[in-house]
Amino acid sequence: MAKKRKGGVHKTPRQAVQIPVPWVGVARKIAIKRQQPMMWYLVALLGEAAKKEGITDLPKFPWDEELTID
């Protein structure tokens, strides 16, 4: 039997970001059209902007991380 996850504990630390609800809707619509998670879409935008600004010490993108199944 699979191990139960401890309630509310993410493997990747999270921090709430307050995006106005209408903008969340826009991001969701774009992500749906691209058939990808909204978070991946937003992270991709941040990565592109960071590269343009010359920021090179970026964390791994979620789609580049190893998949581990517990």
The residue range of the domain holding 32 is 21-54
The verdict on residue 64 lying in a domain is no
Write down the pLDDT at residue 13: 79
Q: State how far the alpha carbon of 8 is from the alpha carbons of 5, 18, 19, 42, 61, in Å.
A: 8, 19, 21, 23, 22
How many domains does one find in the chain? 1
Residue 70 lies in a domain: no
Tokens, residue 9:
């504990």
pLDDT one digit per residue (tens) for the chain, 70 residues? 666 666 767 677 788 889 999 999 999 999 999 999 999 999 999 999 999 999 999 999 988 877 777 6
CA distances (Å), origin 36, targets 1, 20, 43? 30, 21, 11
pLDDT at 16: 84
Place of tokens 């749906």: 32
CA atoms of 37 and 61, how far apart (whole Å):
13
Residue 8 lies in a domain: no
Give domain status of residue 40, yes or no: yes
Running DSSP on this structure, what letter comes out for residue 44?
Answer: H
